[in-house]
Amino acid sequence: MADDLIAVRAPVVTFYVLKDDAGLYLIDTGFLTAPRLLRRELRRRGWEHLPIRGILLTHGHLDHVLNAVPFAEKFGAWIAGPRADADHYLGRWPYRGISRVTGVLEGVGRALFRYRPFTPDRLLDPDAELDVWGGLQAVHLPGHTAGHTGYYSPTRKLLFSGDLFNDQPGWPFRPPPIFNSFPKQIPGSIAKALSLDLAGVLPAHCDDQPPAVHLARLRRLHERLTSRRR
Ligand SMILES: [Zn+2]
């Protein structure tokens, strides 16, 4: 991992800490145990005294936003997230079809883990630019949710890809069907992500391989999806 980037590997979901001259930023906020893991990783890197200025959300699923409000309050950080997921942050997205299972799971999780609904300080539209980490572009990659967004660093050629795909050891796949609100849009979003000038991708559900390996696997998944359609 680069010296201005930490992957915080929590049990079900990885989230990221970025460092620039102004301070630190989180990409997503992890799930259970994330506060403890974040503390440990910051201490390990010697970053525990640096201010956490902002939180960028890839989408509104509970395993990515559970700690958004607690972290924002604790660190005095702003929250930014895709506008089209506004109902997710408020815990009232109208899940349809098979993804209603996710709605039920999230309802239970919100009650159990005392989720605090919110509206981000900044609601991001597609292609928004953020003055973070030398400049990040919000890349709308819908399908998993309506607003699902990756964050692209043109200077480093890295894409934080959220739940665009799952990258378990050696076998990349689309997120399981119950978690996808608009599954037909996912292949197009994968193609859009791969059209960027990339050296690596950093998914939210993955093993601890380097970004270049995740990129190679995403390309493999793309080939699999497009050959199936031919
Ligand atoms: Zn998700």
* Mean pLDDT estimate for the chain: 94
Higher pLDDT, 169 or 104: 104
Ligand 1 center to 163 CA (angstroms): 5
Residues 14, 27: Cα–Cα separation, whole Å? 9
Q: pLDDT digit string (tens) for 174-216? A: 888 889 999 999 999 999 999 999 999 999 999 999 999 999 9
The CATH number assigned to the domain holding 135 equals 3.60.15.10
pLDDT score for 160? 98
Is the pLDDT at 169 greater than 90? The verdict is no
Residues with Cβ within 8 Å of residue 184, at least 6 apart in sequence: 143
Ligand 1 center to 95 CA (angstroms): 13
**Across residues 156-166, what is the average pLDDT?**
97
Ligand 1 center to 51 CA (angstroms): 27
- Return the percentage of the chain with pLDDT > 70, whole number: 98
Ligand 1 center to 181 CA (angstroms): 10
Taking the alpha carbons of 164, 165, 166, 170 in that order, is the dihedral positive or negative? negative
- Reading the block at residue 25, the tokens are 């930023």
Ligand 1 center to 61 CA (angstroms): 5
Residues 88, 61: Cα–Cα separation, whole Å? 7
Q: Identify the band that residue 167 occupies on the pLDDT scale cut at 50, 70 and 90.
A: confident
**Counted domains in the chain:** 1
Q: pLDDT digit string (tens) for 123-148? A: 999 999 999 999 999 999 999 999 99
Ligand 1 center to 152 CA (angstroms): 18
Is the pLDDT at 229 greater than 80? The verdict is no
Is the pLDDT at 1 greater than 80? The verdict is no
Ligand 1 center to 78 CA (angstroms): 21
pLDDT score for 230? 57
Residues 175, 203: Cα–Cα separation, whole Å? 11
pLDDT score for 82? 98
Ligand 1 center to 144 CA (angstroms): 6
Q: Identify the band that residue 168 occupies on the pLDDT scale cut at 50, 70 and 90.
A: confident
**Across residues 102-107, what is the average pLDDT?**
92
Range of the domain at 107: 5-229
Q: pLDDT digit string (tens) for 8-48? A: 998 789 999 999 999 999 999 999 999 999 999 999 999 99
pLDDT score for 83? 98
Is the pLDDT at 170 greater than 80? The verdict is no
